[in-house]
Amino acid sequence: MGGAVRRIGEDETAVSHRDASYNAIIVGMWAEPAEDERTIGWVRQLWEALRPFSSGGVYVNYQMGDEGEDRLRAAYGTDSGLR
């Protein structure tokens, strides 16, 4: 991402992953329930294609479900004080 994002230290604010080159969010939207399987499948397939290029981090302002403690640590870091 570069620029101002990288000028602030990783531990200076609540925003982490400042060393990432890119930030991606996959958004699947549809109106018809009949499209659930197809659209959810598309989102999952795209994520699997992008996963090898991912740092494994997550930004919590993007919707997170009940993904467990490991995913929270990926968002906030191992020194976040999560217990």
Would you say how long the chain is, in residues?
83
What pTM was estimated for this model as a whole?
0.66
- Tens digit of pLDDT for each residue in 25-79? 888 999 999 999 999 999 999 999 999 998 877 777 776 667 777 777 777 766 6
Tokens for 39, please give them.
């659209």
- Give domain status of residue 81, yes or no: no
Q: How many domains does the chain have?
A: 1
Residue 58 lies in domain:
4-76
Q: Is the dihedral of CA 79, 81, 82, 83 positive or negative?
A: positive
Residues sharing a CB contact under 8 Å with residue 47, sequence separation 6 or more, in sequence order: 26
- Give domain status of residue 44, yes or no: yes
- Give domain status of residue 23, yes or no: yes
- Give domain status of residue 82, yes or no: no
The CA radius of gyration of the chain, in Å to the nearest whole number, is 15
Residues sharing a CB contact under 8 Å with residue 2, sequence separation 6 or more, in sequence order: 21
